[in-house]
Amino acid sequence: MQEQRTVHRYSQAFKHKVVSEIENGILTVSQARSLYGISGQGTIAYWMRRLGKAHLLNKVVHIAMSDEPNRVKQLEKEKQALESALAQAQLKIIVLESTIKVLEEEAGVTVKKSTDTASSNTVSPTAGSTTEATP
């Protein structure tokens, strides 16, 4: 058999009494719940929002500088621009590496990669080919 739930209905006068006792500091919310046998976790908080002084409930207040929302939007735009520039640079690197590979295959020369910054574009002939490349 299914167990029946008991639904509690509280009068307006009772709700006002509980809310005023909490607001006046006579009881805490947990004390009122145990004293009066109120089973719902948010029942009294709901009553206080509707019937009491809402300033006693905990509230989340977000404090920000007046220009902070604009600054966040600006930083998000800058981030998107930097991500786009990075993607473009990566695509450019891929295109350049592909171009070098095709040129090496067609011309029969190897482009040496050097750690020197002075002579980073040195071209050396591959074995068995001439030093002059003709397209």
Which pLDDT score, from 0 to 100, does residue 130 have?
45
Tokens 């009068």 found at: 11
The sign of the torsion formed by the CA atoms of 64, 65, 70, 71 equals negative
Res 57: pLDDT: 57
Residue 49 pLDDT: 83
The model's pTM is 0.39
Residues 108, 111, 113, CA angle at the centre, nearest 5°?
Answer: 155
* Segments in the chain below pLDDT 70: 1, 54-59, 112-135
Contact call for residues 124 and 109 (beta carbons, < 8 A): yes
**Per-residue pLDDT, 18:** 92
The confidence score (pLDDT) of residue 133 equals 47
pLDDT for 14: 93
pLDDT of residue 81: 96
pLDDT on residue 75: 93
| pLDDT given for residue 88 in this prediction | 97
98-113 b/e (C-beta count within 10 Å ≥ 16 → b): eeeeeeeeebebeeee
Name the phi and psi angles at 115, rounded to 5: -85, -15
44 contacts 32 by C-beta, under 8 angstroms: yes
